[in-house]
Amino acid sequence: MRVTFLGVRGSTPAPGEKFVRYGGHTSCVAIAHDGEAPSLLLDAGTGIRRTSALMNGEPFRGSILLTHLHWDHVHGLPFCDASDRTDSRVTLFVPDQLDGSVPLEVLSRGMSPPHFPVRADELRGDWSFESLTASTLEVEGFRILVEEIPHKGGLTYGFRVSDATGTVVYVPDHCPTAFSDGPDGLGEYHESAMSLCQDAEVLIHDAQLRREELAAEAHFGHAAVEYAVELARRANVKRVVPFHHKQSRTDDELDAMARQFDGDHVTFATQQTVIEL
């Protein structure tokens, strides 16, 4: 399995010279089987545009799983050249809002006039739209456990993606303080988070906040980097990759945060990060 980070920011893109080394695109991670082009994309933030560089001129043929429908996780979808072309094949998994709406209708609430000129069903290629619920899926040769994760403003999922080479867990938006302050003031190490993470090789986790920012900002629905590291320790995860960096957090500030967690088991995500399992 090869995991390529295409966008690592949260909430909104972060352009400018102070955000170059870590990158300013919003959430998207590409996953490929060994020796193959990516066939699985997790989220469709602006980072999804960078998929084309991985495809060697070929169309994307695979699946996209959305953790939730906030702007920073979907607003790159119509701008991905590799998937918006006549010879692409895409299955888009859209979180079920549990209100009876079909996936295309849910997506079109934000992607249609007057909010956007192109409707989801006008994307070029062979597109299909599937509902996503808490379940276990077989997608593109990967086994994917889907669990609900607390996050403000709509149903949100985390993913545990496995193949014969290992397991990667993806939890980009997570508000563990929604349950309680937990044993260390960082939030609860709750059942769905633990079951997703247990004994995984890699955990990609929300690290938008620092411990000292929780009191003022946790109500927006995010976790502290310290929580991500401790969750990985409790769940026996070999490597944790803090992700979904705060939009105002500069490269130098992220460097300083990373230095607090020296060791091979913590790697702060950048748009250049590639992990081979």
The domains of the chain, with CATH numbers, are: 2-276 (3.60.15.10)
What residues are paired with 148 via a beta bridge? 157
161, amino acid identity: V
The three-class DSSP label of residue 207 is coil
- In angstroms, rounded to a whole number, what is the distance separating the alpha carbons of residues 153 and 221? 8
Strands 135-139 and 126-132: unpaired
For the question of whether the overall pTM of this predicted structure is more than 0.85, the answer is yes
Query: Do 80 and 56 form a contact (C-beta atoms < 8 A)?
Result: no
- Picking from 265, 262, 260, the residue whose alpha carbon sits closest to that of residue 237 is 265
Q: How far apart are CA 177 and CA 179, in angstroms?
A: 5
Instruction: Locate 25 and state its tokens.
Output: 């695109």
**277 residues of the chain, pLDDT tens digit each:** 999 999 999 999 999 999 999 999 999 999 999 999 999 999 999 999 999 999 999 999 999 999 999 999 999 999 999 999 999 999 999 999 888 899 999 999 999 999 999 999 999 999 999 999 999 999 999 999 999 999 999 899 999 999 999 999 999 999 999 999 999 999 999 999 999 999 999 999 999 999 999 999 999 999 999 999 999 999 999 999 999 999 999 999 999 999 999 776 999 999 999 999 9
Judge contact between 66 and 93, C-beta under 8 A: yes
